[in-house]
């Protein structure tokens, strides 16, 4: 479950007055519904079956490359346990495996996404990479012990849920705290939230490590980024 950048409002323009962590920053959107993603990945599944096209890589290939560069620079071991939250078409799992990472897990609440991811991995002879049908907000404590958790658009989608995005965001943080090992890392890429908002949202249980460089723009005398990518570390108990 990853959010296409062109389909949501771009919020990441620097303005101190807008940096408070509000639960009312966005109106509800179909992008926050399971039904939307199931239909989207069902179409991509059919396309992959027909012509072998894995579908869109949300935030572009560079979004994966910048995380992989950080992992290399941070000397993340190749056997580190890595969770891809909302794996979508599984493209990031493929790239992680190609870069030598061997202890990977992908989850998504869309059955079509899970089937697509498994098919994409199988086509790359990566059948040993598990992909589970699982709702991150309702995982019943099954997600624990990960050294690195990666989110590329899933928190954005949860923030757009028409039913209850406020509780969803709170459940997300709690689940994440349970999933990441002490001193483990959380990597988030977002096109909805500014750096300051993400820092406040994940201040409970996590400490900020660094911001990954993303393309910037200027508008109305202000400088901003269409995408924010941050690294957090889980605080020890």
Token pair for 109: 């609440």
pLDDT value at position 107? 98
Could you give the CA distance from residue 72 to residue 93 in angstroms, rounded to a whole number? 16
pLDDT value at position 144? 96
Q: Which CATH superfamily is domain 60-234 in?
A: Vaccinia Virus protein VP39 (3.40.50.150)
Say which residue the tokens 């490359």 belong to: 65
Token pair for 152: 């590329």
pLDDT value at position 55? 67
pLDDT value at position 59? 60
Asked if 160 and 8 touch (Cβ cutoff 8 Å), the reply is yes
pLDDT digits (tens, 9 = 90+) for 114-136: 999 999 999 999 999 999 999 99
Low-confidence ranges of the chain (pLDDT < 50): 3-21
Asked if 191 and 8 touch (Cβ cutoff 8 Å), the reply is yes
Could you give the CA distance from residue 12 to residue 9 in angstroms, rounded to a whole number? 9
Q: What 8-state DSSP symbol labels residue 158?
A: H
Q: What predicted TM-score, i.e. pTM, was given to this entire model? A: 0.85
């Amino acid at each position: 479950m990853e959010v296409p950048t062109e389909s949501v409002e771009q919020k990441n323009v620097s303005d101190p007055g807008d940096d408070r962590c509000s639960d009312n920053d966005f109106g509800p959107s179909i992008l926050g519904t399971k039904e939307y993603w199931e239909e989207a990945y069902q179409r991509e599944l059919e396309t992959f079956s027909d012509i072998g096209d894995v579908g869109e890589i949300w935030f572009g290939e560079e979004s994966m490359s910048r995380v992989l560069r950080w992992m290399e620079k941070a000397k993340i071991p190749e056997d580190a346990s890595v969770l891809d939250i909302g794996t979508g078409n599984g493209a990031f799992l493929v790239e992680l495996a190609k870069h030598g990472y061997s202890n990977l897990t992908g989850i998504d609440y869309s059955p079509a996404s899970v089937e697509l991811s498994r098919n994409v991995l199988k086509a790359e002879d990566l059948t040993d990479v598990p992909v589970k049908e699982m709702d991150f907000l309702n995982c019943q404590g099954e997600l624990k012990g990960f050294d690195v958790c990666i989110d590329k658009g899933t928190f954005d989608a949860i923030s757009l849920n028409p039913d209850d995005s406020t509780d969803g965001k709170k459940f997300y943080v709690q689940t994440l705290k349970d999933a990441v090992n002490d001193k483990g890392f959380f990597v988030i890429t977002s096109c909805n939230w500014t750096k300051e908002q993400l820092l406040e949202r994940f201040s409970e249980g996590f400490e900020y490590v660094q911001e990954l460089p993303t393309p910037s723009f200027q508008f109305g005398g202000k400088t901003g980024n269409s995408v924010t990518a941050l690294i957090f570390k889980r605080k020890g108990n």
